Amino acid sequence: MRKLLPSVVEAIGETPLVDLERLVRAHGLTGHIYAKLEYLNPGYSKKDRIALQIIEEAERSGALKPGQTVVELTSGNTGTGLAIVCAVKGYKFVAVMSKGNSPERARMMRALGAEVVLVDQAPGSPAGQVSGEDLALVEQETERIVQERGAFRADQFNNDANVRAHELHTGEEMWAQAEGKIDAYVDFAGTGGTFAGCALALKRHNPAVRCYVVEPATAAHLAGRPVTNPNHRIQGGGYNMDLPLLEKELVDGYLAVSDEEAMAAARELARLEGIFAGFSSGANVAAALKLLRGPERWSTVALTINDSGLKYLSTDLYL
């Protein structure tokens, strides 16, 4: 039992690890899938961890000064984490987000005191399907606001604190909770920080742990495959762009998951395991199931449940 906490920031991390035994058995597979329930963080996603790490490292280094505004490009989860951390620490926070992301995220950030700037999608981009082109427009607006306000940019796609949050905490927790019984790890690539951090931690304990990057089937850019449709439905990643934080030497393989596979896995996760999660969590589970059917038969595959299904109620992920 946790002691009385001085603020909600101290509630970030130390999330449970759960054996998805019912889901694995329903598919007639052997092995295990261990799921770290990151949606139980205060902001309902794994991004609370990087928000805290980025802000605290910036405070220590002097990069973030008292009273300075914090600005960040976000699909909603990092923004929510930053809104929470900035509310507790007394910083003004501006979240810049594509209109293609689910509106629940913008509403939640505003409720937490953030200023939310919504950027129009690129011509032809369907609502709910954020592409790299859409993200480039958000990047332009983010940089404009940073310069205009003399703000601190959290810069999650380039800030090494993103990796450290998962190397020092998520990956270490996962290893300890599993008592070292992890053979493989999968992660849907957003910024690449979760993958890099957890892979570093797991491989430090056991270099034989195999680590796989998960991408949308139509936008498997990191695997070097042709991008046939950048406008996939798995929000929070698969942006058809290089990721500076993703260390390629940590990658043992790439897995492609379709929108339909990710959605089906998320629905099964809710129905069979009582875990209500979003698109990218479904992609992780779908990828782990692929591994148990193939190269990782009999293995134990670890993954994160990245965010809550509550953030997608305006979509058709859950009808």
Closest to 24 in 3D by CA, of 266, 303, 318, 285? 285
Task: Looking at the structure, tell me whether residues 165 and 83 fall in a common domain.
Answer: no
In CATH, what number is assigned to the domain containing residue 229?
3.40.50.1100
Residues 133 and 113 in one domain: yes
Overall number of domains in the chain: 2
> What is the pTM for the complete model shown?
0.95
Residues 167, 254 within the same domain:
yes
* 51: its two tokens: 């928000």
pLDDT at 283: 98
- Express each pLDDT in 46-101 by its tens digit: 999 999 999 999 999 999 999 999 999 998 899 999 999 999 999 999 999 999 88
200 with 268, same domain: the answer is yes
Does residue 274 sit in the same domain as residue 192? yes
Distance CA 47, CA 12 (A): 10
Q: State how far the Cα of 166 lies from the Cα of 194, in Å rounded to an integer.
A: 6
Residue 260 sits in the same domain as residue 179: yes
The answer to whether residues 82 and 145 belong to one domain is yes
- Whole-number Å distance between alpha carbons of 55 and 62: 10
Same domain assignment for residues 171 and 147? no
Q: Are residues 51 and 147 in the same domain?
A: yes
Can you give the residue range of the structural domain that contains 174? Answer: 8-45+160-312
Q: What is the pLDDT of residues 222-265, one digit of tens each?
A: 999 999 988 899 988 898 899 999 999 999 999 999 999 999 99
**Active site (catalytic) residues:** 47, 280
Regarding whether 205 and 69 lie in a shared domain, the answer is no
